[in-house]
Amino acid sequence: MSKNNIADNIESINAEIAKTAKEHERNADDVQLIAVSKKQPDERIQAAIDAGHRLFGENRVQEAQEHWNQRRDQYDDLELHLIGPLQTNKVKDALSLFDCIQTLDRPKLADKIKSEITKQPRDISFFIQVNTGEEAQKAGVLPADLDVFYDYCVRECGLKVRGLMCIPPVNEPAGLHFAFLKKLADGLGLTELSMGMSSDYEKAVAAGATHIRVGTGVFGIRPGYEA
């Protein structure tokens, strides 16, 4: 994947976002492309930055530190989102690197964040991850527990919850899960939705996504991985 390809990929995904948004009477500016840089070689990440992109997602705290700690000092307009599961023992590190944590999904994690976040001068926001497919192996709060958990995060812990995030089951139509997540967000009066990846982001934009998380579509296949 050459430098130019990555710039082209970003441009064509943004064009696709604009087209789909228009078709669904949405404003393209309300949809942000999160370039998921996990497992990507450093030169590809740099190519995306050189193309002017500033919003990135990572799914592991330690790998994110390797990719971004230095760049944080070099580029003051970076915005970093954690999109993978967060262990309580990594909360401190996560809060010192990320601007947004999209995987808030259990009271114990909210408690730990509450106790650590006061030490952070930066403004950090959150998405609640919802396990829309109720899959046993998947992270996220169950839809039935969402209202109580949302209240807990906001009222008890004082966390700035912006919206909801989901990763649909691989073998079910993603569009159904996107529509479901939108309905859950509407019920809570939340306006931001993180949903859609390389294979289905157009559907997510059609369903109301404000943040799409695209890895391979931006950077190419992750080296050593099939997809």
Ligand X SMILES: *Cc1c(COP(=O)(O)O)cnc(C)c1O
What does the buried/exposed string (b/e) look like for 133-148 if buried means 16 or more CB atoms within 10 Å of the residue's CB? beeeebbbbebebbee
How many residues make contact with ligand X (CB under 6 A)?
Answer: 13
What are the residues facing 155 on neighbouring strands? none
Q: Which is nearer to ligand X, 83 or 159 (CB)?
A: 83
For the bound state, the minimum distance from the C-beta of residue 129 to ligand X, rounded and expressed in Å, comes to 9
Q: Which is nearer to ligand X, 41 or 118 (CB)?
A: 41
Helix, strand, or coil (residue 177) = helix
Q: Is residue 37 within the footprint of ligand X (CB under 6 A)? A: no
Give the whole-angstrom CA distance, residue 77 versus residue 6.
Answer: 20
For the bound state, the minimum distance from the C-beta of residue 25 to ligand X, rounded and expressed in Å, comes to 26
For the bound state, the minimum distance from the C-beta of residue 198 to ligand X, rounded and expressed in Å, comes to 3
For the bound state, the minimum distance from the C-beta of residue 27 to ligand X, rounded and expressed in Å, comes to 23
Q: Interface residues for ligand X in 140-179 (CB under 6 A)?
A: 167
Helical H runs in 98-191? 107-117, 146-151, 174-188
Position with the least CB separation from ligand X: 215
Exactly one of 38, 53, 67, 106 binds ligand X (CB under 6 A); which one? 38
CB atoms within 10 A of CB 96: 16
Q: Which is nearer to ligand X, 20 or 216 (CB)?
A: 216
Q: Interface residues for ligand X in 197-216 (CB under 6 A)?
A: 197-198, 213-216
Give the whole-angstrom CA distance, residue 181 versus residue 188.
Answer: 11
CB atoms within 10 A of CB 1: 17
For the bound state, the minimum distance from the C-beta of residue 39 to ligand X, rounded and expressed in Å, comes to 8
Q: Which is nearer to ligand X, 208 or 217 (CB)?
A: 217
Give the whole-angstrom CA distance, residue 186 versus residue 178.
Answer: 12
Q: Which helix (H) or strand (E) holds 213?
A: strand 211-214
Q: Interface residues for ligand X in 45-84 (CB under 6 A)?
A: 59, 83-84
Nearest to 47 by CA among 78, 9, 20, 97: 9
Q: Which is nearer to ligand X, 139 or 154 (CB)?
A: 139
Give the whole-angstrom CA distance, residue 56 versus residue 102.
Answer: 12
For the bound state, the minimum distance from the C-beta of residue 76 to ligand X, rounded and expressed in Å, comes to 26
List interacting residues with ligand X (CB under 6 A).
Answer: 36, 38, 59, 83-84, 167, 197-198, 213-217
